[in-house]
Chain A
């Protein structure tokens, strides 16, 4: 349980410079459409996409491309579930130990106890790997990238983690809930999350009963999930916690409303009084303007740029309320807007580790994640299904330090070294003229977003650059040199930015 202090005010340090043209910000964009805009759309509404994805979006135009992203293509060809081992504590074990103690019998041997513990620890480790790879592979291969991107957004918003005895299956189910409601109605998703077995455990509502109210879920629901600090009182926390009493889980880890645990007295919450249940609390929360503002701000931070102006947040909140919290039309508006394609939004976000990895896989046509990727993600600071706390991942500048940046570069290096001669190599090998190859690489990987000096450096590298006996790019050395040049291009600052 978290008691609360005021959140520090953001210094808006990472808000893009220059003025916001609020009057036209959310109007449909009618400016130039090319590879840069198409790649920008795919980085934000997806993970980057393959060069073919970007080429298709370039020729399809903005409207058709956004339509194709907000209307999810069927993803039934993707693996529906990861393979999971039984990670429940052996239900017989503790009672067997207690019975042995009562009978004065020596309990199980140390070796047996250790073995049982280790089996659970192994299941935990294997399950986490299986879940991470399952989600990553869905992101890499999905025909509906925005659905997976929104699933990742919700995972960081309505956080739960593979801890506190939560079964892996419950987290997979929660992930499916996010996916099914990816661009659905936020109010309905919030209600579903309030009854989600993983969440009921993660924020302790399973222990929230009339005799011993537990405020953890009620508090975080308002502070982090829907309203934000300053938009409710401590009394609202206590009263809504009473309303959520009785929402728990049964022996099979399904949601269950236990009437005997529910406090059915009168509650006063955000100025309304009644015999409220959790359902009523969610309804009341979503009548508050602060709720629309919180989702507007979080969506802008995740999809457009950091520290959005309050006036812009209000404008998007108005769109959210006008659509009664249905996100598909909201995201459709944002992804078509002048704001979204403005210079101020362009490369104005830091790629998350997951985006860095998934986008790199898509760029180079690698279809399956592996343990190298999982280890790199851990060192970059993002473990799927294990967000650091209920606040989720801070994102932005928090992704960047010497260690995480070295890990990004080393991951790129290992990916480049092991991938086969896929389509990207043909795309890069336009000729044996180093200048043309370097331009092709910079166009494919960074849409040309580098300095002339860096392009010249890359050309020098492809030419042998006085460290090789051969100063000519040739069929014999092209594979090695183009891989090297691709790695160097991925080491440029622009590649860290979305």
Chain B
């Protein structure tokens, strides 16, 4: 197998490369917060983000062959090394990379890739490519850590539907599209008087028995109280950055507010999209990547101003990468492997893994070089400090990208 020139060979097939080497890298590495205080933020690039136009292999001639209209010109790429660089729209994010705040894991995927949005996203969210799991990998994490059952905000999804990644057996996760609109729309629930209403929705002294009754009553109670209390709990937070007026900007501003309000939240989820760029990809993807870069930059500026940047690790994922060759509509179709970003927290900045070869494709798609469960195992063991095998299965060694 021919390896790309930029790769420093390593027995594991993984290597730290890029501009940060040796002493410099260690000096820039982020010092992490104590374990109990740590937060994980996952950013979902909805729709399948094209990895090749995000982390651009401008040094591989095949890239320009496969992408006659979509390729990013060499001069425009924000260079990381002589082969790899970032989409120019990621400029604020590149600045974070240059400060050692970003690890880029290349070629992340799983065996026998599925090209359905639903199924492939489900695989990423459940970490179960070989079966239909009923919980998400972060749901299983929450189930395993004995989070306080009285806390309504152990995990928060900033989305209007609870994503499968946070579906747990024992922990009820709040899903909040935006603060304005989270909760009951009817003021009838208030005219009764707060205490009576809660007694009412949590009524379990009933003339029947049902194996679901206690759970329904408890979740109704959580939903009522959570939607009432959250706005008050986070009202005192003053953002210290100017967030872009974009959906991801607003979501990350709310995430920082929840984190900074110290509610005991361990996991947050935000999303942006749609990256499903079958047609005229450049305009759509460039806009979304710029929104991501500006949002995440403001987020870490804000966190830093509140002394929270070392408590918060952020990780991205998407449905899949996209087909290597562009299609006839200046877009790309569903593909397989793509890069994952790991940001902030105790990250050792740099490039990880091996960029997938453009010369040995699998039916027009990239062959993955790092299994996504190794990235999850890294986050679980090195950041959240939980054994990974119970959550993502055995045999996925953590990557050396966290201190």
Residues of A within 8 A of B (CB): 1-5, 7, 13-17, 94, 97-98, 101, 107, 110, 113-114, 117, 161, 163-164, 305-306, 343, 346-350, 378-379, 381, 388-391, 394, 396-398, 400-406, 409-410, 413-414, 417, 448-454, 457-458, 460-461, 465-468, 483-484, 487-488, 491-494, 496-497
Q: Which of B173, B202, B278 contacts A402 (CB 8 A)?
A: B173
Would you list which residues of chain B between 271 and 299 have a CB under 8 Å from chain A? Answer: 278-280
Please name 19 further chain A to chain B contacts, defined as beta carbons within 8 Å, in addition to the given A487-B188, A496-B220, sorted by A numbering: A110-B280, A389-B119, A390-B132, A394-B134, A400-B219, A401-B167, A402-B227, A405-B216, A413-B184, A414-B185, A452-B205, A457-B192, A457-B200, A460-B196, A487-B186, A492-B200, A493-B201, A494-B206, A496-B212
Cβ of B171 to closest chain A Cβ, rounded Å: 10
B100-136 contacts to A (CB < 8 Å): 112, 114, 116-119, 122, 129-132, 134
Interface check B40, CB cutoff 8 A: no
Q: Is the CB of B206 within 8 A of A348?
A: no
User: How far is the CB of B251 from the nearest CB of chain A, in Å?
Assistant: 15
Q: Tell me, in angstroms, the Cα distance from A452 to B199 when the chains sit together.
A: 12
Bound form: Cα–Cα A266–B295 in Å: 61
Minimal Cβ-Cβ distance residue in B for A467: B191
Q: Is the CB of A497 within 8 A of B216?
A: yes
Say how far B378's CB is from chain A's closest CB, in angstroms.
23
Complex CA distance for A107 and B226, rounded to whole angstroms: 54
User: Interface 1/0s, chain B 166-210, versus A by CB < 8 A?
Assistant: 010000111100000011111011011100110111111111111
B-side residues, CB < 8 A to A, are 112, 114, 116-119, 122, 129-132, 134, 152, 160-162, 164, 167, 172-175, 182-186, 188-189, 191-193, 196-197, 199-213, 215-217, 219-220, 222-223, 226-227, 278-280, 328-330
Contact A343 B219 (CB under 8 A): no
Nearest B residue (CB) for A397: B215
- Does A5 lie within 8 Å of B131, measured CB to CB? yes
Interface centre among B130, B164, B212, B222 (most CB of A within 10 A): B212
Pick from A94, A305, A493: contact of B202, CB under 8 Å: A493
The reply to whether B189 and A488 form a contact with Cβ atoms under 8 Å apart is: yes
Instruction: Evaluate whether A493 and B191 lie within 8 angstroms (CB atoms) in the complex, with A4-B131, A451-B203 already known.
Output: no
Q: Shortest distance in angstroms between A408's beta carbon and chain B's nearest beta carbon?
A: 9
Q: Report the separation of the CA atoms of residues A476 and B152 in the bound assembly, to the nearest whole angstrom.
A: 40
Contacts of B211 in A (CB 8 A): 13-17, 305-306, 348
Are A413 and B223 in touch, CB under 8 angstroms? no
Query: Chain B: which residue is nearest A496 at the CB level?
Result: B216
A401 touches B219 (CB 8 A): yes
Residue among A390, A410, A491 with the most chain B CB within 10 A?
A: A491
- Give the residue of A2, A4, A117 whose beta carbon is less than 8 angstroms from that of B278: A117
Q: How many angstroms from the CA of A388 to the CA of B136 in the assembled complex?
A: 14
With a 10 A CB-CB cut-off, give which of B114, B199, B219 has the most chain A CB atoms: B219
A449 and B200 within 8 A (CB): no
B199 touches A453 (CB 8 A): yes
Q: Is the CB of A396 within 8 A of B200?
A: no
Given the known interface contacts A113-B329, A114-B280, the answer about A451 and B206 at a Cβ–Cβ threshold of 8 Å is yes
Closest to A350 in B: B212
Nearest CB on A from B157, distance (A): 8
**Could you tell me the distance in whole angstroms from the C-beta of B379 to the nearest C-beta in chain A?**
23
Q: A449-B208, A493-B203 are in contact. Are A484 and B191 (CB under 8 A)?
A: yes
Smallest distance from the beta carbon of A324 to chain B beta carbons, Å?
A: 31
**Pairwise interchain contact A413-B130, C-beta atoms closer than 8 A:** no
Cα(A496)–Cα(B116), bound, Å? 33
Known: A98-B328, A497-B213. A401 touches B220 (CB 8 A): no
Q: In the assembled complex, which residues on chain B have CB atoms less than 8 Å from the CB atom of A403?
A: 160-162, 174-175, 223
A-B pairs with beta carbons under 8 Å apart, 16 shown: A5-B130, A17-B209, A97-B329, A117-B279, A390-B132, A402-B175, A404-B162, A406-B182, A449-B207, A450-B203, A450-B206, A453-B203, A457-B196, A461-B191, A488-B192, A488-B200
